[in-house]
Structure 1
Amino acid sequence: MGLEQATAKPHEDLARHLSGKMEAVNRLIQTRMASRHAPRIPEVTAHLVGAGGKRLRPLMTLAAADLCGYTGEYDVHLAATVEFIHTATLLHDDVVDESAKRRGRPTANLLWDNKSSVLVGDYLFSRSFQLMVETGSLRVLDILANASATIAEGEVLQLTAAQDLRTNEAIYLQVVRGKTAALFSAATEVGGVIAGAPEEQVKALYDYGDALGIAFQIVDDLLDYQGQSQKTGKNIGDDFRERKLTLPVIKAVAEATDEERAFWQRTIEKGDQRDGDLEHALELLRKYDALERTRLDALKWAEQGKVAMAKLPAHPVRDMLTNLADFVVSRVS
């Protein structure tokens, strides 16, 4: 979301550099999302896959493998695996969040129903594991299976943490690592593993993906309170209205007076929101400099990603991934 606004677009550079591989990924996705017996599966999947998107996660798998000198074909399998896992989580998330729009289009659960979205998501998870197995690498299977479990764990944790004022920055980070960073880090890590890269390079790729995913989510949460709707695709304060305790609010709550804490309890924990509450929330965020402190956190994580990438061999893809870390936070820099 929002990565289209800057003039320099590292993800587009990656897409051009890896266009042949991405075409193979797209063909594989089309083949594996088919179903002889349940036509609704490709219908639902095609609706979401066809909605566009940057395919950032599979690009990161292909980029990591390319950076490490891989010349085989299983990076394509792993990139498709990562995209299937991502698509499955989106289908499930839209049901949990009762969402009506995704990438500017009606969600699958709205066009069909919740049961179809959940079951098609399950199907895609199953397909993703078939693709993993075909690589013949138990380590790859272990990494992506763990990532899938971490994603689910993060989503369940968010159910309880998102509206609980006891949620602190450590718990927030755990949620973000689950819902966003786990798939980023797995995407880059498996690219290095399938290429047979040295362990220090595989670790650097994992660290890069982890840091990039965290920065990505922090920026997303920050823009909810200070972005421009036409650029972000979100209305200012959507997270507040949906009672999501994200990092800017967590920072403000940690400094709150008793009266301010009572406000957050009423609006976030109890969901009793009234006219003027969003404006007051924004005043409290500014009072405690929560937005600027959140911005600095995003920049710190992007910098950590760049430090990790510097440990990898010189390569045009390394430069693109380094630029991607800067690009992710350029919306708030």
Structure 2
Amino acid sequence: MERVNAFILSRTGSSVTMIPEVANHLISSGGKRLRPMLTLATASLCGYEGDGDVRLAAAVEFMHTATLLHDDVVDDSDMRRGKLAARKLWGNEASVLVGDFLLGQAFKMMVEVGSLEALRILSEAAAVIAEGEVMQLSAAKNTATTEDDYLAVVRGKTAELFAAACEVGPVIAGRPKEEQAAARSYGMNLGVAFQLVDDALDYGGREAKLGKKVGDDFREGKITLPVVLAYRRGDAQERAFWKRTLENGEADDADLQEAIRLLGKHGAIDDTIARARHYGAIARDALGLFREKPEARALIDVVEFVTARAH
């Protein structure tokens, strides 16, 4: 990871001074670097020797950072990782364009690795992530969103990059399709679990851990799984509350407390976490092919880390 971080910093350079300023504001703001770690871990798991994993891990982090820059513009977010979002400091235009720069750099790094299959996987992921973002736009403020609809958004906008980050490890190691598919399944299900825990934490977490305000999803009118569950389980009066606050955008801090009460009444937070643990279990089982290897134990620990954040 030290090599990945050094590589990331070397690729944010530009003669256009605003680009490294905006990029480094987010890149150096203490993210977990979970996705690039997964690329390194799955490559090591499959016995890869070379430096292609470092380049692909950096590419994955650049893709993730680009989506965060774009997301904050789409969501009108003020905070990211406990700091002011880049859009608040440099404006929406700069955030979008620097995100585009990072995507371009990510693809350059993929090409340098020389694996057409790894390039295919990550470029397909970039397209799927964008589709997921557009799907989320259409689901936003729509209380008719079903659990299946929502999970399709999660697989696209969040889990796809986890899946691709894991799949490219065995690909560059030249491992058989069976192992590539297992690594992808692990990443996809880990990514779903990760997002569902995030959804739960938005209503029940602590701001210091979240890096944003508790209730931001509610203020932004986002329909996440806890809301989907509470809406489906609620009576007509409660559904009218969700329509007023989320669809019509007529919400204040007192409404946030009422939303948290309704989520608690219907067990929506606990059930969201239970679903996250279910997907975590699928991720663990996907590693069965590799159970003899120490790296597999570390990857199982990642599942525990992701789901334990809910406590």
TM-score (structure 2 length as normaliser): 0.95
Structure 1 residue 214: Cα displacement: 0.6
Count matched residues.
311
Q: Distance in 2 between matches of 1:331 and 1:108?
A: 26
Q: Structure 2: how far apart are the matches of 1:234 and 1:63?
A: 29
Which of 51, 54, 62 is the aligned partner of 2:29? Answer: 51
Look up the SS of the partner of 1:323 in the other structure.
Answer: helix
Q: Is the CA contact (8 Å cut-off) linking 2:27 and 2:65 kept in structure 1?
A: yes
Change (3 A) 1:29 1:237: closer
Match of 1:88 in 2: 66
1:123 is displaced (CA, Å) by 0.9
What residue in structure 1 maps to residue 124 of structure 2? 146
Give the match for residue 301 of structure 1: 279
Are 1:328 and 2:309 an aligned pair?
A: no
2:107 and 2:214 map into 1 onto residues whose CA distance is: 38
Q: 1:50 to 1:331 in 2, by over 3 A?
A: closer
Query: Residue 3 of structure 1 corresponds to which residue in structure 2?
Result: none
Asked if the contact 1:95/1:114 (under 8 Å) is kept, the reply is yes
Q: Which one-letter code corresponds to 2:186 in the other structure?
A: Y
* The one of 316, 319, 322 aligned to 2:294: 316
Whole-Å separation in 1 of the counterparts to 2:30 and 2:255: 35
Percent identity, please: 53
Alignment TM-score, normalising by the size of structure 1: 0.89
1:176 shift after superposition: 0.9
CA RMSD across the alignment? 1.5
Contact 2:82 2:212 in 1 (8 A): no
Which amino acid in structure 2 is aligned with residue 31 of structure 1? S
Q: 2:10 corresponds to which residue?
A: 31
> In 2, Cα distance between the equivalents of 1:47 and 1:117?
11
Determine the C-alpha separation between the residues in 2 that align with 1:113 and 1:231: 26
- Any unmatched runs of 5+ in structure 1? 1-21
* Pairing 1:255-270 to 2, within 5 Å after superposition: 255-270=233-248
Counterpart residue type for residue 142 of structure 1: R
Matched position secondary structure for 1:279: helix
| Closer, same or farther: CA 332–104 of 1 in aligned 2, 3 Å | closer
Give the corresponding residue for 1:182: 160
Question: How far apart are residue 183 of structure 1 and its match?
Answer: 0.7
Alignment of 1:134-213 (within 5 A): 134-213=112-191
* Structure-2 separation of matches of 1:162 and 1:280: 20
